[in-house]
């Protein structure tokens, strides 16, 4: 069920305490952000609990000598309100550009609200991101609003029965926490979604563009297939900061990319950058390369295992049944019930599906 919800709303070892032991429901609203200055004039806003519905990405404010850039908009009107408030607390300089890492809803639904706050702002993206926004995102909010009551009814029914209606299995503790929190936040979420919409980007780049803010340089670049085929990253060479959008997410990586073998190549290119701080698309700010290295290792392992099984003539169903996840689930979840639940729904299921389909397509292309 969570796999479906994620696509409707965006279309993933943590140091946080175990959610099962925390007071539920969580304090604060579903769109509340916490801001951290990761370098002078560079402030990243993230949501304290990465898993709350709807998924919400990180936004990074970059203040220059004469102007302000924003890497990734919040996906909600309330998130944008907080970002705009933070910018105005820090400077009276105008927000001139918003760098859109990719087209998913949780990174684009706040663009209308940003345009209202800063009418002269320009949105910058890859050409395929604009196509995605125009072809899919703009029509999806209506479908979400229409189907939302059905999902809420399913969550309530599953909580009452203790059975996951999708699988017929007992409802996991992680699912119980997630469903309960979503039901608690439902009215606030719906009110915001009804007012949040994307806009088409103004400036399109296929490879790279450099922004000189006077006292700092920001490079906005396409380095290969990532979470989508049009992901762009931002690099601040003076501060050694890398903003990667959903190419990396913490603590649970997304298994949704359609070309996981190409993703591995992109991840290796990413780690060739000289950086000391990495801001994922979702989750905690990273101050070393340990987690990024672990993500690469995980994708390499999945692709290798799938290749081995395909070469043995195994079907997809057989691969699902016999795949050995070793200790990866525990390594990424840290024993937290919500992380365990999401590693299964956000990584294990989709990553096997994507890897098998990519391998099948590669084999067919050789014939």
Q: What is the pLDDT of residue 366?
A: 83
| Confidence grade of residue 179 (pLDDT, cut at 50, 70, 90) | very high
Q: CA-to-CA distance for 6 and 283, rounded, in angstroms?
A: 15
In the predicted model, is pLDDT for residue 351 greater than 50? Answer: yes
Q: What is the average pLDDT value for the chain, to the nearest integer?
A: 91
Q: What is the pLDDT of residue 205?
A: 96
Put the strands of the sheet holding 233-236 in their side by side order: 208-212, 217-221, 233-236, 241-243, 277-279
CB 228 within 8 A of CB 210: no
pLDDT digits (tens, 9 = 90+) for 54-81: 999 999 999 999 999 999 999 999 999 9
Smallest CA-to-CA distance from 6 within 213, 239, 252 is with 252
Q: What is the pLDDT of residue 326?
A: 87
Q: What is the pLDDT of residue 23?
A: 52
Q: What is the pLDDT of residue 345?
A: 93
What is the signed CA dihedral for 224, 226, 232, 235, rounded to 10 degrees? -90
The alpha helices in 26-90, defined as continuous H runs, are 77-90
Segment 143-169 shows an average pLDDT of 93
pLDDT digits (tens, 9 = 90+) for 9-43: 433 333 333 444 445 678 789 999 999 999 999 99
Which domains occur in the chain, in start order? 2-131+198-295 (3.60.15.10)
Length of the chain: 367
Smallest CA-to-CA distance from 185 within 24, 58, 341 is with 24
Q: Exposed e or buried b for every residue in 301-329, given b needs 16+ CB within 10 A?
A: ebbebbeebbeeebeeeebeeebebeebe
Q: CA-to-CA distance for 343 and 108, rounded, in angstroms?
A: 25
Q: Indicate the DSSP class of residue 18.
A: P
- Percentage of the chain with pLDDT > 70? 93
Is the pTM higher than 0.85? The answer reads: yes
Question: 177: Cβ–Cβ under 8 A, 6 or more apart, which residues?
Answer: 19, 20, 24, 337, 338, 341
Which helix (DSSP H) or strand (DSSP E) does residue 236 occupy?
Answer: strand 233-236
Q: What is the pLDDT of residue 11?
A: 37
> Can you say how many angstroms the Cα of residue 287 is from the centroid of all Cα atoms in its chain?
18
Q: What is the pLDDT of residue 6?
A: 46
What count of Cα atoms within 13 Å lies in the side-chain half-sphere of residue 299?
Answer: 27
CB 300 within 8 A of CB 264: yes
pLDDT digits (tens, 9 = 90+) for 205-236: 999 999 999 889 999 999 999 999 999 999 99
- Percentage of the chain with pLDDT > 90? 84
Smallest CA-to-CA distance from 341 within 252, 210, 259, 217 is with 252
Q: What is the pLDDT of residue 144?
A: 85
| Confidence grade of residue 139 (pLDDT, cut at 50, 70, 90) | confident
CB 181 within 8 A of CB 24: yes
Q: What is the pLDDT of residue 13?
A: 31
> CA distances (Å), 237 to each of 61, 131, 212, 234, 305, in order?
16, 30, 12, 10, 37
Q: What is the pLDDT of residue 24?
A: 65
Q: What is the pLDDT of residue 238?
A: 97
Torsions phi, psi for 356 (to 5 deg) = -65, -45
- At residue 103's C-alpha, the angle toward residues 112 and 291, to 5°, is 120
Rg (CA), the chain: 20
pLDDT digits (tens, 9 = 90+) for 246-302: 999 999 999 999 999 999 999 999 999 999 999 999 999 999 999 999 999 999 999
> Can you say how many angstroms the Cα of residue 82 is from the centroid of all Cα atoms in its chain?
19
Q: CA-to-CA distance for 340 and 173, rounded, in angstroms?
A: 9
């Amino acid at each position: 069920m969570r796999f479906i919800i994620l696509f409707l709303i965006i279309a993933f070892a943590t140091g946080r305490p175990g959610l099962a032991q925390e007071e539920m429901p969580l304090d604060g609203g579903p769109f509340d952000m916490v801001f951290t200055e990761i370098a002078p004039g560079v402030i990243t806003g993230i949501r304290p609990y990465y898993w709350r519905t709807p998924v919400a990405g990180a936004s990074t404010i970059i203040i220059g000598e004469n102007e302000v850039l924003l890497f990734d908009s919040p996906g909600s009107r309330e998130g944008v309100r907080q970002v705009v408030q933070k910018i105005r607390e820090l400077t009276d300089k105008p927000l001139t550009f918003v760098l859109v890492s990719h087209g998913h809803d949780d990174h684009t639904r706040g663009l209308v609200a940003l345009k209202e706050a800063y009418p002269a702002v320009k949105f910058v993206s890859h050409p395929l991101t604009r196509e995605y926004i125009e072809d899919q995102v703009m029509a999806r909010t209506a479908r979400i609003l229409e189907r939302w009551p059905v999902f809420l009814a399913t969550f309530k029914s599953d909580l009452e029965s203790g059975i996951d209606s999708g699988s017929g299995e007992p409802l996991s503790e992680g699912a119980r926490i997630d469903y309960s929190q979503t039901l608690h936040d439902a009215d606030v979420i719906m009110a915001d979604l009804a007012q949040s919409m994307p806009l088409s980007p103004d400036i399109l780049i296929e490879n790279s563009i450099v922004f000189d803010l006077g006292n700092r340089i920001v490079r906005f670049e396409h380095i290969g297939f990532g979470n989508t085929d049009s992901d762009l990253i931002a690099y601040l060479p003076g501060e050694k900061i890398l903003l990667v959008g959903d190419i990396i997410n913490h603590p649970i990586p997304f298994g949704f990319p359609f070309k996981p073998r190409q993703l591995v190549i992109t991840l290796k290119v990413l780690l060739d950058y000289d950086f000391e701080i990495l801001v994922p698309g979702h989750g905690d700010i990273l101050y070393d390369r340990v987690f990024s290295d672990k993500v690469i290792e995980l994708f390499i392992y999945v692709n290798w295992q799938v290749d081995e099984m395909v070469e043995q003539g195994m079907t997809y169903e057989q691969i699902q049944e016999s795949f050995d996840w070793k200790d990866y689930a525990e390594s990424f979840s840290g024993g937290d019930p919500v992380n365990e639940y999401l590693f299964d729904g956000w990584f294990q299921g989709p990553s096997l599906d994507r890897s098998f389909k990519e391998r099948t397509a590669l084999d067919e292309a050789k014939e």
